[in-house]
Amino acid sequence: MSEALMGVYNRAPLEVDRGEGVWLHARDGRSYLDCVSGIATNALGHCHPKLVAALQNQAEKLWHVSNIFRIPGQEELAEKLTGASFADVVFFANSGTEAIEAAIKTARKYHAAKGSPERIDVIGFAGSFHGRTYAAVNASGNPAYLDGFGPRLPGYVQLGLDDDAALAVALAAPTTAAVLVEPVQGEGGARALSPEWLCRLKAMARAAGVLVIHDEVQCGMGRTGRLFAHQWAPGSEPDIMAIAKAMGGGFPMGACLATREAAAGMTVGAHGTTFGGNPLAMAVGNAAFDLLADPALLAHAQAMGERLTSGLTKLAAAYGDIAVDVRGKGLLIGVKLHTNNREMMATARDHGLLVAGGGDNCIRLLPPLIITAREVDTALDRLATAFAATRRALAQAA
């Protein structure tokens, strides 16, 4: 590993050379079934021909212009996103954490524009992850991401997910601006919030004049079998939503979506970005949207999610010494382990399967949504082999 890189990542010793669909081919000639997908990002698999064509075509025409000019690809993708969601308007960014930053600023500015600038507090939840900007690490409140970076910012409140009484108190506070939640927690360990909880949150927030922000950076864009995860919970629609990861199929981009009302404070000069929504990104984003929003693909993702979840549930039952339970939604699946999740990631890799880690000692399976039934079964076979190897190692150690 080069000493020239800042050492912020715990990288697996794997050098990927080429990707094709759900497969990654390493330099040493080995092939891996990819159930990481760049953390729920390569939702259409690697090198999808339509995304490759969109990128190549645009690369020969125009890469970048400033947002001081009209960008037709932005207008097109914004129409598609608002046409498929609760939202009326879209701001394009380059990443998930920037989409969250825009969402939090939109919420605070809404209250300021309405004459309540004291409403700044953002309520976040234990186990959440919103990215790595100052606003995002303060919103998620995870000490591991806050330590050593100076004092915590004012204006952030952390609650447990099951503390309704504290939630009611926080929502009623006169300084509260917004509540920020992932409908399915990703990094926290694939925890799907119930439709009832999401609808109750929306109703309570609305009654208190507090905006609801959904972080669908990981669970959105088809991952759960609906274009947006909250669409499983009609009535829970947020006022503001951040998306990113899968929306570019691997090309960096993010977006903050909002109702016209919630975005009322975001007037000329209130926010901006150099790269966000540039023509190269929008060419890929439009092509990716058309594929991800296809009802047939969403139904396929749901079916593959059910197949993988049911196989994993059987596997967990057969390996009660290794697995605790299976959780998540669609193709955002976690398996909570008794044994160390990092070691299981390495063992699975040794058996040709890539899985991600997650909070609560989970391994996470986030395959491309285009994974076939046969490939799901291959993933299950390989994980079963990894579980068996772990059991043998445990027996030897005992």
Ligand X SMILES: *Cc1c(COP(=O)(O)O)cnc(C)c1O
Residues that bind ligand X (CB under 6 A): 95-97, 100, 129-131, 182, 186-187, 215, 217-218, 244-245
* Catalytic-residue membership of 321: no
**Shortest separation between residue 104's beta carbon and ligand X, angstroms:** 12
- Please choose, from the candidates 239, 249, 266, 254, the residue with its C-alpha nearest in 3D space to the C-alpha of residue 98: 254
C-alpha closest to that of 104 among 130, 83, 143, 67: 130
- Using an 8 Å Cβ cutoff, are 237 and 247 in contact? no
Q: How far apart are CA 284 and CA 270, in angstroms?
A: 27
Angle, helices 373-397 vs 341-350, to 10°: value is 120
CB of 132 to ligand X, least distance (A): 6
The tokens describing 200, both together, are: 């109750």
Residue among 6 and 398 whose Cβ is closer to ligand X: 6
Nearer to ligand X, 201 or 244 (CB): 244
Give whichever of 183 and 305 is closer to ligand X, judged by the CB atom: 183
Least Å from the CB of residue 185 to ligand X: 8
Cα–Cα dist 100/355, whole Å: 26
**Least distance in angstroms from the C-beta of 265 to ligand X:** 23
Which is catalytic among the residues 105, 121, 202, 215?
A: 215
Smallest separation (angstroms) from ligand X to the CB of 244: 5
* DSSP classification of residue 232: G
Token pair listed for 134: 């100052």
Pairing mode, strands 353-358 and 31-35: parallel
91 catalytic residue (yes or no): no
Closer by beta carbon to ligand X, 187 or else 237: 187
Task: Please state, in angstroms and rounded to a whole number, the distance separating the CA atoms of residues 312 and 306.
Answer: 10
Which residue's Cβ has the minimum distance to ligand X?
Answer: 96
Q: Which is nearer to ligand X, 186 or 305 (CB)?
A: 186
Of 129 and 156, CB closest to ligand X: 129
Q: How far is the CB of 175 from ligand X (least distance, A)?
A: 24
Strand (E) positions, the chain? 16-20, 23-26, 31-35, 89-93, 121-125, 156-159, 176-181, 184-185, 191-192, 211-215, 240-243, 254-258, 323-329, 332-337, 353-358, 362-365
The yes-or-no answer on residue 86 being catalytic is no
Q: How far apart are CA 186 and CA 216, in angstroms?
A: 9
Half-sphere exposure of 213 (CA within 13 A, CB side): 33
Catalytically annotated residue among 86, 129, 228, 289: 129
Phi, psi angle pair for 177, to nearest 5°:
-100, -45
Rg (CA), the chain: 21
Q: How many CA atoms lie within 13 A of 139 on its CB side?
A: 27
- Name the residues annotated as catalytic: 129, 215, 245
